[in-house]
Amino acid sequence: MPENLPGEILSLQSVYYLDQQSKKKVQNLSFRLLAGQVTIAFGPEGCGMELAVELCTGQAAPDSGHVFFHGQQIDCTDQRKLEKIRSKIGFVAPMFSLINNQSVFENIALPLRYHTTMKNHQIIDQVEPLLKRYEMLHVADARPQKLGRSESLRAAYIRAIINRPEIVIIHSAMDAQCPLARERFLQLLKEDVRNYNFSVLIITYTPMFFYDPDFEFLLVYEGETKFHGNGIEMLNADNPWLHQYLHDPSHGPMRSFHSQVKQEVKYETAKT
């Protein structure tokens, strides 16, 4: 088993997993999430990062390879340990997954009400400073359907960090953001990473929107790691997959519409 790096929270090591329903798979997928680090994971549609999230959170078990949390292999059959691991992971879904019949404040407070014994005044003391920091006090009583995309992202992110997780996964929630709002949000996120020393995994189709020389970048294609390095290494890499994805989508080893299984007709047609 490879030695843990200092600050390593979670790692996938040579993982192979085939989803029996979708027939999608990851193969030889390896990456690490370190405390105080931002990782930008990208690749074409169906690249395998959706399955990687399931593996990271114990929703699926690898067919081969290993998934470790703080050096201990995740056991998908031990529900008590899985719940503890999941409590350490904050998640921002692609469409934010805010509850429309509750206010923004109650959406953010929900993890505190569910996972802690805090009194109402203690919850207010936890939520209000974050609403102020992310300029959301004016919509604290609003329902999510009244929010703009930037406000929805901020509300979902605050909910994801309210219990001080060790990992925050932002899954395809930042691609369709106003550039000004996205840049301001990234500034605040980087401050959070420095202050609280958690790890952030951003899954995206547009990695250059998030370019920072100190970020880690992970290119996944057909469930396999094709590049993993920091921002400077990414710009200087002689890597055909990376070159195609970033510079010339029509030419290179990746297919535009890549299917992970052989195309076959699997439906019945009515005959008259």
Structural domains present in the chain: 8-99+165-247 (3.40.50.300)
d(CA 107, CA 124): 13
**Residue ranges, the chain, pLDDT below 70:** 1-4, 258-272
Q: What is the pLDDT of residues 245-259, one digit of tens each?
A: 999 999 999 998 865
pLDDT value for 23:
86
Q: How many CA atoms lie within 13 A of 254 on its CB side?
A: 26
Amino acid identity for residue 94 in this structure: P
pLDDT value for 4:
64
- Residue 195 sits at the vertex; the CA angle it makes with 193 and 198, to the nearest 5 degrees, is 40
Question: Which phi and psi (to 5°) does residue 208 adopt?
Answer: -70, -15
Q: What is the pLDDT of residues 129-159, one digit of tens each?
A: 999 999 999 999 999 999 999 999 999 999 9
CB 35 within 8 A of CB 193: no
pLDDT value for 188:
98
User: pTM higher than 0.85 for the full model?
Assistant: yes
Question: Which phi and psi (to 5°) does residue 258 adopt?
Answer: -100, 120
pLDDT value for 6:
79
pLDDT value for 256:
84
Location of structure tokens 């301001």? 184
pLDDT value for 55:
97
Neighbours of 127 (CB within 10 A): 22
Q: Is the dihedral of CA 39, 8, 66, 163 positive or negative?
A: negative
pLDDT value for 208:
97
pLDDT value for 259:
59
Q: Nearest to residue 201, comparing CAs of 71, 49, 85? A: 49
d(CA 218, CA 178): 24
pLDDT value for 257:
82
Torsion angle in degrees (nearest 10) through CA of 190, 192, 193, 194: 90
pLDDT value for 264:
53
3-state helix, strand, coil in the chain (%, to 5): 35, 25, 40
